[in-house]
Amino acid sequence: MCDWMERTAQKTIWTSCTHCLTAPPHSPSQFPSPTTRNFPAPHASSSATIVEIIASTASRWKCLKVDKSSFEALKESFPGPLTVLKDLNLRFNVDLLGAPVDLFLGCSHLRRLSIIRNSLWRRDSLLRMPWHQLTDLQLVESDPALCHSILLQCKNLMWARITTSHWDTVDAYAPTTSLPSDVDAPNITLPFLKLLKIRFEDDDSGEGSNDDSDDDDFCLVGPFFTPLCLPALRALELRFTYNTSWPAREFTAFQKRSPKITRISLENCRITSQQLVSVLRRTPSLTAFSLDSCFNCIDNESLQALSGENHPRPLVPRLQEIDWREIGRYYDPAVFEAAITSRCSTDGTAPLDVAKLKKMTITKASFAPDPFDWLRTLVEHGLKLNII
């Protein structure tokens, strides 16, 4: 049994350079093929056995996925420096307690890290990582201040995907961090970050309901943007809960420090029409713009601002892709038609400094009943249209 397990484990390492440290099935006949890495739920004793068996091959591990049980076994039977490890995926369901964990601190080639756990470590940094080496980070951590403390150390990040929560009050934000209260005084500069995805979640958010509530009940996410300076950022994706207020002041300051954004995606966002126009006005290089379940921002005012004909300085003149889903119906269909047509002119009358719209995705529920005759004309002249 053990000899067979060792041969299988070694073959898996050499063929796929990937290890999933979870418990084995109950018999050899139940083992998946060497390239399959989906194992049943682990048991502590079997995880320890697996770790002991494959420890001698640790110097060749390039990709490692570790869950709660196998992590405990790995701490007990640490195979030594993981010198060629490039990709690490940690999934936990327990807080780390006790002495600091240095298992991965010496991973000199580590570039991609995924940590999925709420309150994974305490404020005294029990889990230590070579944060400065990372180029790709996926982080699920409910405490946004801890997310900040990690980002502060990740100076070479190029891609970041973060799931976190919000600050209940500004007073709750200030005492637990050493971050500035002034929105124009950032202290987390990530000079190479190109993609940032942030998903704000909260168990008490009332997600799924779009009922209006008092401002006092709104969740605060503005402090998350306060310290960020991302001069190379190209793509920004933000997903909120329904009771999250739009952080207008903090986001405006953030945009000044992130002037190269070309793609913006907003989901479950309470941003208003005027606030949206303000965001777009500060993103002149925008080429793609997505809205999903944002019910208050597309109206006659914002559509007229998007028109390429009525403004000497057109809004987002490089815009080529629109993806609007579930945006409500607070606009005149004729105004919508004029705004889109002005960016897809078929007769050469569009302003020369406005890019032609190439792709548009919309939902039936948010727009007049299809088919739109005028949209058919635009499709015939090259617009890629998707109605869902």
What is the C-alpha to C-alpha distance for residues 345 and 372, in angstroms, rounded to an integer?
A: 16
User: Measuring CA to CA, how many Å separate 100 from each of 105, 124, 202, 286?
Assistant: 11, 8, 29, 44
Q: Under 8 Å CB-to-CB from 218, ≥6 apart: which residues?
A: 243, 244, 245, 270
User: Measuring CA to CA, how many Å separate 238 from each of 3, 147, 265, 286?
Assistant: 49, 16, 6, 15
CA-based R_g, the chain, Å: 25
Type of residue found at 304: Q
What is the C-alpha to C-alpha distance for residues 237 and 247, in angstroms, rounded to an integer?
A: 15
Helices (H) and strands (E) in the chain, counts: 11, 15
Count of other CB atoms within 10 angstroms of residue 60: 15
pLDDT at 312 (0 to 100): 67
What is the C-alpha to C-alpha distance for residues 164 and 141, in angstroms, rounded to an integer?
A: 5
What is the C-alpha to C-alpha distance for residues 353 and 317, in angstroms, rounded to an integer?
A: 7
Q: Under 8 Å CB-to-CB from 150, ≥6 apart: which residues?
A: 131, 137, 139, 141
Type of residue found at 330: Y
Residue 173: phi, psi to the nearest 5?
-75, -50
Q: Please classify residue 261 by burial: count the beta carbons closer than 10 Å to its beta carbon, then call 0-12 exposed, 13-18 middle and 19+ buried.
A: buried
Start-to-end CA distance of the chain, whole Å, equals: 54
What residue ranges do the domains of the chain occupy?
1-87+96-111
Q: What is the pTM of this model?
A: 0.81
The closest of 62, 59, 220, 198 to 137, measured between CA atoms, is: 198
Mind listing the pLDDT tens digit of every residue in the chain (388 residues)? 444 444 444 433 333 344 555 444 433 333 333 333 333 344 555 656 676 777 778 888 899 988 777 777 777 777 677 889 999 998 865 555 555 678 888 899 999 999 886 545 555 455 788 999 999 999 998 888 889 989 999 999 999 999 999 886 554 444 344 444 455 546 899 999 999 999 999 754 334 334 444 444 568 899 999 999 999 999 999 999 988 889 999 999 999 999 999 999 999 999 999 999 999 999 999 999 999 999 989 999 999 999 876 566 779 999 999 999 999 888 888 899 889 998 987 665 556 678 999 999 998 888 766 557 788 889 998 999 998 8
Cis-peptide, bond into residue 371, ω within 30° of zero: yes
Place of tokens 């640790």: 58
The closest of 158, 159, 176, 156 to 167, measured between CA atoms, is: 176
